[in-house]
Amino acid sequence: MFSDVRAVVRKDFLIEKRVGILKGRVLPLGLAILLVFGFAIPPDLAILGSERLVLSQIGPGLFWVSNFFVIIYLLDRSFSLEAEDGCLQRLVTDGVDGVAFFFGKLVAVFLGVSAVQAVLAVAAIIMFDIPADRIGLLLIVGLVGSLALAATGTVFSALVVGAGSNQGLMALLLTPAVVPVLLGAVRLTEIATDMSNDLSSSGWILLLLALTALYTGVGIFTFDSLLED
């Protein structure tokens, strides 16, 4: 099974190397979204009595919302490639089982979103003036949040793969499912950037890990039958 997982990840990596979707489209999209937020919220707006500008205070939320849009695009691209020219059927006939395919896609999506997120995080810290002293915690939050987003997104993308124009449908399904993930990731980022009075980050990390485990479980149980479709 491990070799199948590696093969799926390698396949996605080679596609990325040849086509360059991440750096050519996904990353610019993420940066554009961050820029739009900067225009939507006046950069000099501050709440009375607060030392920080509004943009800086809500920066963690804006960062994760941009990640959400980025992952929708990334997942759509990743899974629509599988639906083209009978790629999925070929994987099945080559003996790749559903669980290996799920983990392969999960790892590929996780690596992709983490790479884009790293650049977006630097951009958000600079553009929104977000304090980033607790770099260690920020890294953990980024990795755990990306993993939870990738697990949720991989399951829901597989559900709509093969349907005609599925981008809108995937966003509709993914939005309510991803709400607890975004909530946990935003709260953790606020803690890591000293914007929250809540000092306990372990509960939120546990929530994200539990959601990752839940959707990984759903993926393990459903991907075999979804591949047969």
Partner 1 sequence: MTATDKNFLTTSSKSTKVIGSVALAAGALTLIFGLIVAPPHIEQGQSARLLFVHVPSVIATYLSYFITLVGSAIYLRKKSLFWDRVAGASAEVGSVFCAVLLFSGSVWGRPTWGTFWVWDPRLTSTAVMFVSYLGYLAIRRMDMEPAARRRRSAIVGILAFVNVIIVHFSVDWWRGLHQSRTFEPSDVQIEGWYLLSFFFGTVFFVSTQAWLLIHRFRLSHLESQANAAKLDQLIDLRQSGDLGSAQTREKVV
Catalog residues that contact partner 1 under the rule CB under 8 A. 159-160, 162-164, 166, 169, 172-173, 175-177, 179, 218, 222, 225-226, 229
From the list 110, 202, 222, the residue with the least C-alpha distance to 156 is: 222
Q: What residue type is assigned to position 145 of the chain?
A: G
Identify which of residues 75 and 159 has a Cβ nearer to partner 1 in the complex: 159
Q: How far is the CB of 157 from partner 1 (least distance, A)?
A: 12
CA dist 220 and 100 (Å) reads 9
* Tokens found for residue 75: 């997942």
Residue whose token pair is 């396949």: 11
| Minimum distance, C-beta of residue 88 to partner 1, in the bound complex (Å) | 12
Residue number with CB closer to partner 1 (95 or 164):
164
> Quick one: 62 or 127, whose CB is closer to partner 1?
62
Token reading at 58: 């809500």
Least CB distance to partner 1 at residue 175 (A):
6
The nearest distance, CB 164 to partner 1, in angstroms, is 4
Could you say which DSSP state residue 58 is in?
S
Q: Report the distance separating Cα 146 and Cα 153, nearest Å.
A: 10
Q: Which is nearer to partner 1, 26 or 178 (CB)?
A: 178
CB of 115 to partner 1, least distance (A): 28
32 or 87: CB nearest partner 1? 87
Q: How far apart are CA 27 and CA 67, in angstroms?
A: 10
